[in-house]
Amino acid sequence: MKYYRVHTADNAYITKQPRGIFTTVGKLVDSKTLTEEEEKEYWRNREYFEEVLPVPPFYDQGNPEGAITWFKEGEKGNRIWEEMTFYRDMCKKYGVKLFISETDEMPGELIYEDDFQIAVVKQPEGISIVTREL
């Protein structure tokens, strides 16, 4: 199976890994970068994605293990990515470069899985991950 994640070049404080697109756009909201209408649209999108995309339970505790989520390539994971136009548009509008990392290997020790995504910790050395700018 192929796994992929969309992220920026900057590392997140908790995970020490590149910050994912959901968190990246959330940071634009926190910093009051978005317009008032864009912020309203952000909250509509966030509500939708929290309904259709399971939120891994470790986020309720603040992600203490520093887990990284990866989409699973397939119908459900790909559909979610296709639906994330608002997030991509905000990154483009505000000059946030996005990257996609892909691997055919399990990218770490699996601690969570659902139909759309996995979450891993302890990424192994030597894993083959291809990263390119979107």
Q: Give the start-to-end residue ranges of the domains of the chain.
A: 3-133
| Structure confidence at residue 133 as a pLDDT band (50, 70, 90) | very high
- Confidence (pTM): 0.90
pLDDT digits (tens, 9 = 90+) for 17-67: 899 999 999 999 999 999 999 999 999 999 999 999 999 999 999 899 999
The pair of three-digit structure tokens given for residue 57, joined into one six-digit string: 């339970």
Structure tokens at 2: 């192929």
- Predicted confidence at residue 13, as pLDDT, reads 83
Instruction: Please classify residue 35 by burial: count the beta carbons closer than 10 Å to its beta carbon, then call 0-12 exposed, 13-18 middle and 19+ buried.
Output: exposed
Q: What is the mean pLDDT of residues 106-128?
A: 95
- In percent, the amount of the chain with pLDDT more than 90 equals 87
